[in-house]
Chain A
Amino acid sequence: MATDTIRPAARPSPWRNPAIRGVVFQVLFVAAVVGLGWFLVHNTIVNLRRQNIASGFGFLDREAAFGIGESLIAYSPADTYARAFLVGLLNTLYVAGLGIVLATILGAVMGIARLSSNWLIRKLAQIYVETFRNIPLLLQLFFWWGLLRETAPAPRQAWQLLPDVFVSNRGIAFPVPSPDPAHGWMALAFCVGVVATIGMFRWARQRQVRTGQQFPTGWVGLGLIVGLPLAVFFAGGAPLVLDRPELKGFNFAGGHAVSPEFAALLLGLVIYTGTFIAEIVRAGILAVSWGQTEAAMAIGLKPGQRMRLIVLPQALRVIIPPLTSQYLSLAKNSSLAVAIGYPDLVSIANTTINQTGQAVEGITMIMAVYLTISLIISALMNIYNRVVALVER
């Protein structure tokens, strides 16, 4: 009888072990990435030194010495590069922030209009979406800018739309109230109104759950938000002195003016991004099954209520994630401003790079700013997404 001994299997080489192999590959990969990064940085530093190009962020404290066309804060050529950079950053945030709000409104309206039962409204919305979605944004910006520039008259022949509102190829000049201490109190009253409205909504909701009685939240909310500041305004003696635009020399002085560059950029961004948002909204609404609408009809909700109470809350879950991407691209697309002369961050950073020669630092700052803006938008939208997401019970 032959004895069958089971030979112990030869130990596999460590190279055959998937766990070890995985670790080795990962270590190698990280080493390669770090090595490449180190090499790029080292190479840049060596080359900059060899060509005698200045480096470091010391230039930020130096005098910028160039002018900037529009600024939300006080700025003169005697200010530093850091301040010029801040002016550009604020201009970018201003146009991107306003753009996001307006594009959302336009997109939502157009998205809903595309599903309208009215043929004309549906087709008009479709034409809007199909046209503006398929033309490059830069081209649209040049179009709007050219249109505003070419059609509007010179300041001395400006069109007067309303008393003290002038449209010329320098932009739209309109009066603004001169500052008054009562305005601060009005702002406070507005905030109080908003908080009170939110509280009132909660109370009305609980009451409806408890008793079934409805409360005219809309009207009362409007009264609180608009009425409170108005009451303060009149209580303060209605202090309203308008700072009116007046033609002085070459241009309008006083009041506030929206430049053609800003208007063209905002129009372009809103109209372009609005098309994508419209499609996202339409897709989100279509994703809610028809049965939900039928059920809402069955319990007798009006069309507006159906949309607001049944369809939209469910559609938002589908809408929010792609909407975030649109907000991100709107913020980044605002850098096309440089082509039509709106002094955004990129435009000012470009000038700075050119005057100081410090391209590496300048580009680093641009990248850091856009990265930060994008991450903030993304974080806020993620929080909102968590709020509207389906809560499983």
Chain B
Amino acid sequence: MTIKHWVGALAAICVGFASAAQAGPTLDKVKQAGQISCGVPTGLAGFAAPDSQGHWAGFDVDVCRALSAAIFGAADKVKYVPLTAQQRFTALQSGEVDLLSNNTTDTLQRDTALGLNFAPVVFYDGQGFMVPKKLSVKSAKELNGATICVQPGTTTELNLADYFRANKMDFKPVVIEKRDEALNAFFSGRCDVFTSDSSALNADRLSQAPNPDDYVILPERISKEPLAPVVRHGDEEWNDIVRWVVYALIEAEEKGITQKNVDDMAKSDDPNIKRMLGVTPGMGKALGLDEKWAYNEIKLVGNYGEIFDRTLGKDTELKFERGLNNLWTRGGLLYAMPIR
């Protein structure tokens, strides 16, 4: 009897592990849990930071909310998991989070060897350098011998080494995992330079520096940083959903559909808009979602332009220019694939 119990228990353990290991399609898991687990930065003004009431807000956060709206018809079914640059890929690979909306640069190595898939780019960025004004440095080419604070596990760390190698200059990295600690070290003078994506640098300068005017961002952009949401390789259904949720945000701006006018637009005669908003059914079914998926996104979160203005752009203290992050029709790089 005892042996039987032992064997039974052992078998149960093995089966339990095996089923846990075979994570089913992410959409089923998300629906069952009633929420999306979304990996966001640990605190980056404009992109992801808790507001005064403790609710997460920002550009990265709104991507998660748009996804929640498309799946659940409600924007708040999201569990935010703040992850440092070092933790994020492991958290995604192991299934702790369902996607990363974490200012992650799309690269070949990550797409392949790390077993990830990138959704469309939501923010085009480039790496820059921030220095104290009193060093009177005008160009990154003058940084030979500088001590540079940088976060590990980022493309930033690699671009930095590449740039100094290419320009035959030396530097001393001080590698600190948490962004806050790295910034503290820089503002206290431990480093001459802090390097990161230039948009994030600007946000840090305005929101974290003791006196923003004491710091400047050097004109050089030393890399291309296309930032995109990330999902695990191997769940194509989930990958498709995230991809088209992003495209719908961009497409909505292009078609002039906003949070305010989305109900009127649903009465439009334009077959493209009717397809997108689910008046003509088919798109939602193809994705495995409700036909109102895109309608809900726009109704509850807004189109790309609205999200940008609200979190990073003209309605905020950051006042980012749209620049590359404008529609292709206005000289930017945003171009959504046709929703049909």
Contact = CB atoms under 8 A, between A and B. Distances in A.
B115 A52 contact: yes
Name, among B110, B114, B188, B192, the residue most crowded by chain A CB atoms within 10 Å (CB to CB). Answer: B114
B176 A341 contact: yes
Contact of B173 (A39, A69, A169, A338): A69
Contact of B233 (A51, A149, A339, A354): A51
A169 B135 CA distance: 15
A147 to B, nearest CB: 11
Interface string A98-139: 000000000000000000000000000000000000000000
B90 interface: yes
Interface in B138-177: 143-147, 152-153, 157-158, 160-162, 164-165, 171-177
Contacts of A47: 21
A359 interface: yes
Contacts of A249: 144-146
A357 B89 contact: yes
A221 interface: no
B36 to A, nearest CB: 19
Contact of A67 (B109, B173, B182, B192): B173
Contacts of B89: 354, 357
Given A341-B175, A343-B175, A43 B21 contact: yes
Interface in A343-369: 343, 347, 350-351, 353-359
Given A67-B161, A248-B145, A351 B175 contact: yes
Contacts of B171: 67
Interface in A184-236: none
A39 B13 CA distance: 11
Contacts of B232: 51
A351 B152 contact: yes
Interface in B181-209: 181-182, 185, 188-190, 192
Contact of B174 (A39, A261, A357): A261
Nearest to B90: A359
A69 B149 CA distance: 10
A339 B13 CA distance: 37
A302 B174 CA distance: 52
Contact of A51 (B3, B10, B115): B115
B21 A149 contact: no
B177 A338 contact: yes
A260 B160 CA distance: 22
Contacts of B18: 43
A83 B6 CA distance: 48
A381 interface: no
Contacts of A77: 161-162, 165
A343 B175 CA distance: 7
Contacts of A357: 89, 93, 109-110, 113-115
Given A51-B234, A52-B233, A154 B175 contact: no
Contact of B172 (A36, A69, A149, A359): A69
B147 A150 contact: no
Interface residues of A, number: 52
A240 interface: no
B154 to A, nearest CB: 8
A149 B234 contact: no
Contact of A253 (B14, B110, B145, B147): B145
Nearest to B6: A28
A54 B10 contact: no
Contacts of A52: 112, 115, 233-234
Nearest to A343: B175
Contacts of A260: 190
A329 interface: no
Nearest to A168: B189
B189 A149 contact: yes
Contacts of A28: 3, 6
Contacts of B172: 67, 69-70, 251
A103 B174 CA distance: 26
B277 to A, nearest CB: 35
A340 B146 contact: no
Given A170-B147, A354-B89, A149 B190 contact: yes
A350 B87 CA distance: 9
Contacts of A347: 152, 175
B184 to A, nearest CB: 8
A53 interface: yes
Interface string B72-108: 0000000000000110011001000000000000000
Given A35-B10, A52-B234, A351 B153 contact: yes
Given A251-B145, A339-B177, 5 more contacts: A51-B234, A52-B112, A52-B233, A66-B157, A248-B145
Interface of B: 3, 6, 10, 13-14, 17-18, 21, 85-86, 89-90, 93, 109-110, 112-115, 135, 143-147, 152-153, 157-158, 160-162, 164-165, 171-178, 181-182, 185, 188-190, 192, 232-234
18 contacts: A28-B6, A43-B18, A47-B21, A51-B232, A53-B115, A54-B112, A66-B173, A67-B160, A68-B173, A77-B165, A78-B165, A251-B145, A341-B185, A351-B157, A354-B152, A356-B109, A357-B115, A359-B90
Q: 4 closest Cβ contacts across the A-B interface?
A: A354-B153, A357-B114, A53-B115, A77-B161
